[in-house]
Structures are given as C-alpha cells and as structure tokens.
Structure 1
Amino acid sequence: MPSIRPLALAALLPLLGACASSGSSTAASSPVPELKPGVPAGYLGRDLPDSLALLPAPPAPGSAAFANDEAVHAAAQRLRDTPRYAQATRDADLSFPAASDNFACALGVPIDAQATPRLYMLLRRTMVDAGLGTYGAKNQYQRVRPFMLHEEHTCLARDEEALRKDGSYPSGHTAIGWTWAMVLTQVAPARANALLARGRQFGESRLVCNAHWQSDVLEGRAVASGVFAKLQGNADFLADVAAARKEVAARQAAGATPTGCETEAAALATPVPGVL
C-alpha cells in the first residue's frame, strides 16, 4: 500500500517514539529491520490489510450512529477521577515496557526484554503492523476526535499534539490492543478468555480517555482482525510465536507472576457506560 505508508509512518512514529528506549537486548532468530534506530519494523511491510476497503465511512454528523457515539462519549467521561480512568491512562502509553505490562496480568506471566525477549519483540513488531494497518481509512476520513470537537482534554496530555494531526477513525490503539490479544492467545491458548477480555478493555480505554468515538473503537477491532489474518502467513511471525510460547512456558514453570494484578482487576471491573 505505497500510497499511505509515508503518511502513516509520519503520523505513527511520534506515538511510538518512546519505545526506542527499551528492548535493545532482545534476541531474535535474525536481525530485525528498523523504522528508525531502536524502533523495529513490523512483520508485514507493505502487505497490510487495506482499512479503507475493509471499513464503511465513519458516522456522519447528525446521523443516529453519530448520536450514539456522542452518548457513549458523554457517559464515558463520567469515569474521570476513578480507578478506571487511571487504568485508561496507563493503557494510553504505547512506550515499552509500559505497554507490554498492561497485558502481563491477562497472560499470567511478566513480559520483559530480558526473560521473554522473543515475546517482547513480538509485541513491538505487531504493534507497528496493527498501527499502520489503520491508516488507509485514517488518512481518507481525517475524523475529528471527541476531545477536539468538545474542546476538552485526553488522559495523556503529552500525546494530544500528535493526536490532533492523526485521524480518529479507526482507533489505532484499539487495533494494537486487539491484535495483541489475539497474538497472545496464539502464544498461550489457555489464557484466551482473560486475554481477549483485556484486549476489549484496552480499546474501551480510548473512550474513557476521550481520544476516540465508539465507532472508532469497534472498527479498530476489524482492522486488527485483518492484520492478524495476514500475520498467519508470515514465517518470521510464526517463528517468533513458537519461540514466545516456549518462553511463556518456562516462566510459568519457574513460577513467575506479574505484579499489580489486583489493582488492575479492580479498575477494569468498572464497565464503560453505553458501550456495545
């Protein structure tokens, strides 16, 4: 998809730039290509799903679908100053290791560059694929985000400048979180229920953060499904899944457990009002 890739990279890299600070010791079967120093490329290259072809146009202002988006936005903003808002703020951070920590409780083992290097790199590379996969539609529609329309703020002020230049539809964070949930389920099938629930909650955090409309989140999952399907035909991805599966099994056998899971579970027990 050569027509969208330069624009997509220009928009996505500011949001991913912090991940360059971690993971340099990650082992892999072969050298990993980089988008810039410290930021690994995805697995798919230009073989991404075309989100513009996959998705309908976003809800038009004045439509019933947009009225529903507005209603969910208003309901989600009532969660400010709650533990669910604090968790949404943590979910907004795509830098590593913070991003991978958000799925450790659902996986049941810690995720880090030292003890689980192939898993760590698997998440970093699939993040790029999922994020870039949204840009056919993002660049076409340039949908205004709810915090911009309502002259409000998001839960992570440092990202707002980049978000203002980045279309709202579909949600890149949701595409990343749902892709991770499916990839981790492939790594640890016994944890599928917890992982898929966490992937859904990760996307819903974008509603709480005031960064996306509900329709952005729903269609972010559709893009993630396309990315995941494409990954199944990529030999490097499948090799990293197999290696990550062994790493997780070794950590389970060693009794390694993530921290902060009770706090996370309590925060996520609060439903986001009105979501489908």
Structure 2
Amino acid sequence: MRHIAFALLIAATLAFSPVHAEDAKPFATGKTIDLTAVLKPPPAPDSVQTKAEIGEVLTIQVTRTPEMEARAQADVVEDVWRFADVMGPAFKTEALPVFSAFFDRIVATEGAVVDPAKDSWKRPRPHQASPLVKPVVKVSNSGAYPSGHTTVGTLMGIVLSNMVPEKRAEIMDRAWVYGWNRVIGGIHYRSDIDAGRIAGSVIAARIMEQQDFQTEFTAAKAELRKVLGL
C-alpha cells in the first residue's frame, strides 16, 4: 500500500508541466518576505566593523591554501547538489527529478527574496572597498548584504535536513561551510554571512507554512528517502 501511495504522489507531482531551473517559480518574493524589515542594516563603509572585516578578509587571503580556494570556487554553484558530499553516492540529479524540481523553486526563492534587499542596501563588496582584496571566485558587483549564497545554503540545509533528519548535523555543517566559503573566496564580509544565515532561516520558516510548499515537500521527501534507501 505504501508503494502505491508513493507512486500516486509522484505521478501527481509529475503531472504538472516541467520547467527549467531558471524558470522555476519561487515560493516567496521580496514583497511577501521583506528582509529590510527583518535584518538590521549592514555596517557603514567607513565603520570600525567594516574596516575590521576587511582586515579579516585580507588575513584569510594570505593564509588560505589552494585546497581552500578550490572548495570556495566549487561552492560558487548555487544548487542542492553541493550537499552530495554528505548525502552519499545515490544523491544524483538524474535519480531525483521531483526532488530536483522542488529545489529549483527553493533556489529561485532565495533570489526573489534577497535581491531586493541587496539592491536596497547596496553594500560594496570587499574588493570594491579595498584594492588589496583579490577574490579567487567569480567577482560579483551586486550588493554584498546579505550573502545570497549563505542565504540559499542555509535555506537548502534546513529543508534538506527536515527531509533526512538522520543527517541533520552533517547537512547543517555543510551549509555553514558553504556560506563561509564566500569569505574565504574574498567576495563577502563576515556580517554578510551572519545576515545570510538569519535570512535563510526566516525564509525557511515562512515558506514551510505554505500549502504549495508542503505538497511539493512531501513528494520530494518521499522520492529522496526511497532513493537513499531510508
């Protein structure tokens, strides 16, 4: 009976027209979750905190190893498959179509909610604030605050760990590293990362209350757990 119910659930989900990742519909936008009303403003460019954070970025710049740089570069990709190192060899896109489409919406949600806040605050990136900063990841000139990568990493981590609570600690540790790699890469400040973790947690709490999220979460979770043999 469980197998029949699972098959019906997956079939119902697949009945919707497939979309490409870039066309995924977000679960929320900046109009439904206003991060400027949730987060405190970023430190001012000439503040003691910003100067200290630039110093931290510069210290990391001269102490990071090639391995650290490689991990930061790999984590530039914004998708749930960056968690493969803690999820195991069965965690593959081709094996998880329903799960994959669901997380495309999760990633789209981050951009839809975070980008308006970034545009509002327009915090300069470390390399814009100091010519001494040399990022080793793809340069972005969008607002630094909050970190979008950290937001989506936290958001994905929370949702994924709710699907596989057996791996919650490992998943959330990976989400933490995913965000911190933006500082190692030289493209964000510590306070951008802290704000991103708050933003990701807030977004997760808000969208989990929605019926469309709950429906798709249930189908994606069932597919994932079956593939992982849980």
Q: Does the alignment reach a TM-score above 0.5?
A: yes
- The answer to whether residue 127 in structure 2 is matched with residue 141 in structure 1 is no
CA distance in 2, matches of 1:176, 1:225: 10
- The answer to whether residue 56 in structure 2 is matched with residue 72 in structure 1 is yes
Distance 1:45 1:67, change over 3 A: closer
Residue pair 1:109, 1:251 contacting (<8 A) in 2 also: no
SS for the counterpart of 1:134 is helix
- The answer to whether residue 25 in structure 2 is matched with residue 41 in structure 1 is yes
Q: TM-score, normalised by structure 2?
A: 0.84
Distance 1:65 1:194, change over 3 A: same
- The answer to whether residue 147 in structure 2 is matched with residue 171 in structure 1 is yes
- Unpaired stretches in structure 1, ≥5 consecutive residues: 1-26, 255-276
Distance 1:109 1:245, change over 3 A: farther
Residue pair 2:69, 2:184 contacting (<8 A) in 1 also: yes
**Post-superposition offset of 1:45:** 4.8
Identity %: 24
Paired position in structure 1 for 2:16 = 30
CA distance in 1, matches of 2:175, 2:15: 28
**Post-superposition offset of 1:63:** 2.7
CA distance in 1, matches of 2:193, 2:93: 29
Greater shift after overlay, 136-145 or 64-73? Answer: 64-73
CA distance in 2, matches of 1:38, 1:54: 27
Paired position in structure 2 for 1:217 = 193
Instruction: State the Cα deviation string for residues 160-206 of structure 1 (Å, max 9, x = none).
Output: 3xx22x11111111101000000101111111000111111100010
**Post-superposition offset of 1:106:** 2.1
CA distance in 1, matches of 2:115, 2:32: 10
**Consecutive aligned runs of 4 or more in structure 1 exceeding 6 Å deviation:** none
- The answer to whether residue 206 in structure 2 is matched with residue 230 in structure 1 is yes
Residue pair 2:28, 2:113 contacting (<8 A) in 1 also: no
CA RMSD of aligned residues (A): 2.3
- Unpaired stretches in structure 2, ≥5 consecutive residues: 1-12
> Which runs of structure 2 are paired with 1:102-181 in the superposition (5 Å)?
102-151=82-131, 152-157=133-138, 160=139, 163-164=140-141, 166-181=142-157
Q: TM-score, normalised by structure 1?
A: 0.71
Normalized per residue, the structure richer in helix is 2
Residue pair 2:30, 2:113 contacting (<8 A) in 1 also: no
**Post-superposition offset of 1:90:** 0.4
> Which runs of structure 2 are paired with 1:254-273 in the superposition (5 Å)?
none
CA distance in 2, matches of 1:226, 1:169: 15
CA distance in 1, matches of 2:98, 2:84: 15
- Which of the numbers 73, 76, 81 marks the counterpart of 1:92? 76
CA distance in 2, matches of 1:84, 1:188: 28
SS for the counterpart of 1:84 is helix
CA distance in 1, matches of 2:86, 2:55: 30
Residue pair 2:90, 2:228 contacting (<8 A) in 1 also: no
Residue pair 2:29, 2:112 contacting (<8 A) in 1 also: no
**Post-superposition offset of 1:61:** 3.2
CA distance in 2, matches of 1:202, 1:128: 18
Instruction: State the Cα deviation string for residues 138-174 of structure 1 (Å, max 9, x = none).
Output: 11211110122223443333xx3xx22x111111111
CA distance in 2, matches of 1:53, 1:38: 27
Length, aligned pairs only: 217
CA distance in 2, matches of 1:119, 1:28: 11
Q: Could you tell me which amino acid in structure 2 is paired with residue 106 of structure 1? A: V
**Post-superposition offset of 1:229:** 1.1
SS for the counterpart of 2:95 is coil
CA distance in 1, matches of 2:109, 2:33: 9
Distance 1:132 1:46, change over 3 A: closer
